[in-house]
């Protein structure tokens, strides 16, 4: 998201930064970056994207780059499918089945079997469906809706509204770094009165990766229904929703999935919940017989009941074309490169940026790191503005955080080295 948000809570401060800019490490780091790119099995994937020459783009955690196939596909949708076939594209073409068809293309990237993921609407709308649907799935008598205290603001807004509508009490909680080995011992987080839990897989400010397997197990052991927001992890790292027994999940497609600005989000409904999932938005597109136009609502079978109104076909089919960039690519290989890129960036920043000028707020352990690095510094807004002016695009979060997102499908190690070197020049 590109909005400016309220000041984040205090981060764990760790001194960071090494020698002066362009110190003796510079030639070695530059040469190493070139060597890492030469050995990178994913390097050829960059050609699947359209990127401005000379630009270092490290803001894929807000808006992914343009996949090369999207422009031609969008032109065909507009000129032929809409312009020539007109309404026949609903019945004779690929429009009607797009939400579940594209959902099944996303499914392997989030560890889901087919038939559980549907694409459409925004993340916020899908989150509302999931929250109210989860409250209706929860055991009777439970009273609390737990939400990560550091959640993305919109998630908090939607959760508060859903709590009011369903009679639950919204409770912000601090997610611990360590979950007990026995999920039943996690009473300090989830209790017998917990109905629904909403968590972000990766914290949008800090890049902290939450322990999805352990937290899911703990929530389910407590009898709660758990929802994961995957906006900052889908397409960046393995999620494995089915393997870990996640109940519901939502996520956007314009970040690491590169679907384009405002591209439709996805909703995951585990197969075991689909029969009982009661959407608070029972639109005609989710009806068992959408063209019967009956006065009563009967939900469709499966995840299709997560559909609401007429799909946004232009954005939907642009997203479908964008997913071609994933052909032959595994999420595991992307995760391996992501960790290598972020490790190398931290190393380069330590070499190029004067000591004490920046502090990392992204956890160092791989198990706790998403695919971004956040650095805390004074005058962060002005620093990011200067970086962008020099051809290195990241973003800023108030009051003092520089965010850099690493999309392994197109980010190179030479990009990483240049970004850190440019940051060092600014502080030099």
Catalytic residue among 59, 155, 229, 247: 229
254 is catalytic: yes
49 is catalytic: no
Q: Where are the alpha helices (DSSP H) in 167-253?
A: 212-221
Return the percent helix, strand and coil in the chain, to nearest 5: 40, 15, 45
Q: What is the 3-state secondary structure (H, E, C) of 88-141?
A: HHHHCCCCCCHHHHHHHHHHHHHCCCCCCEEECCCHHHHHHHHHHHHHHHCCCC
Cα(409)–Cα(327) distance, integer angstroms: 11
Cα(155)–Cα(268) distance, integer angstroms: 16
Catalytic residue among 49, 128, 190, 254: 254
337 is catalytic: no
Edge-to-edge strands, sheet with 144-148: 117-119, 266-269, 248-251, 225-229, 194-200, 144-148, 169-173
Q: Please check whether residue 238 is in contact with residue 332, taking contact to mean a CB–CB distance below 8 angstroms.
A: yes
* Length of the chain measured in residues: 428
Partners of 373 in the β-ladder: 404
Catalytic residue among 48, 142, 255, 307: 255
Cα(292)–Cα(124) distance, integer angstroms: 29
256 is catalytic: no
57 is catalytic: no
Cα(200)–Cα(232) distance, integer angstroms: 8
Catalytic residue among 16, 49, 128, 152: 152
Element (H, E) at 173: strand 169-173
Give the residue numbers annotated as catalytic, written as ranges: 152, 229, 254-255, 403
């Amino acid at each position: 998201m590109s909005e400016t948000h309220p000041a984040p809570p205090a981060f764990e401060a760790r001194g960071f930064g090494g020698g002066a800019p362009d110190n003796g490490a510079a030639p070695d780091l530059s040469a190493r970056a070139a060597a890492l790119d030469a050995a990178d099995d994913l390097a050829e994937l960059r050609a699947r994207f359209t990127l401005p020459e000379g630009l270092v783009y490290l803001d894929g955690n807000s808006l992914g780059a343009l996949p090369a196939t999207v422009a031609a596909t969008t032109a065909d949708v507009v000129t032929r499918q809409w312009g020539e076939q007109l309404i026949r594209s609903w019945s004779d073409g690929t429009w009607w089945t797009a939400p579940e068809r594209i959902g099944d293309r996303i499914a392997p990237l989030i560890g889901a079997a087919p038939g559980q993921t549907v694409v459409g609407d925004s993340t916020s709308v899908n989150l509302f469906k999931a929250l109210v649907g989860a409250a209706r799935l929860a055991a009777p008598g439970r009273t609390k809706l737990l939400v990560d205290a550091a959640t993305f603001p919109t998630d908090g807004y939607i959760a508060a509204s859903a709590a009011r509508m369903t009679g639950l009490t919204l409770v912000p909680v601090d997610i611990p770094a360590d979950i007990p080995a026995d999920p039943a011992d996690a009473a300090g987080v989830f209790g017998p009165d917990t109905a629904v839990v909403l968590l972000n897989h990766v914290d949008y400010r800090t890049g902290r990766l939450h322990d999805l397997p352990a937290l899911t197990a703990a929530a389910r052991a407590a009898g709660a229904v758990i929802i994961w927001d995957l906006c900052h992890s889908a397409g960046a790292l393995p999620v494995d929703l089915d393997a870990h027994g996640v109940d519901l999940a939502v996520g956007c497609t314009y970040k690491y999935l590169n679907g384009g600005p405002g591209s439709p989000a996805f909703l995951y409904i585990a197969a075991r919940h689909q029969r009982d999932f009661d959407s608070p938005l029972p639109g005609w597109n989710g009806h068992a017989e959408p063209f019967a136009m009956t006065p009563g609502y009967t939900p469709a079978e499966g995840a299709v009941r997560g559909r609401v109104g007429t799909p946004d076909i232009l954005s939907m089919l642009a997203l479908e074309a964008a997913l071609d960039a994933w052909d032959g690519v595994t999420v595991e290989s992307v995760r391996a490169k992501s960790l290598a890129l972020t490790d190398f960036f931290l190393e380069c920043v330590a070499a190029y940026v004067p000591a004490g000028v920046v502090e990392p707020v992204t956890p160092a352990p791989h198990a706790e790191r998403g695919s971004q690095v956040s650095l805390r510094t004074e005058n962060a807004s002005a620093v990011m503005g200067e970086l962008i002016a020099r051809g290195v695009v990241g973003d800023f979060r108030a009051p003092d955080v520089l965010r850099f997102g690493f999309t392994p499908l197109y980010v190179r190690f030479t990009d990483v080295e240049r970004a850190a070197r440019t940051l060092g020049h600014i502080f030099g």
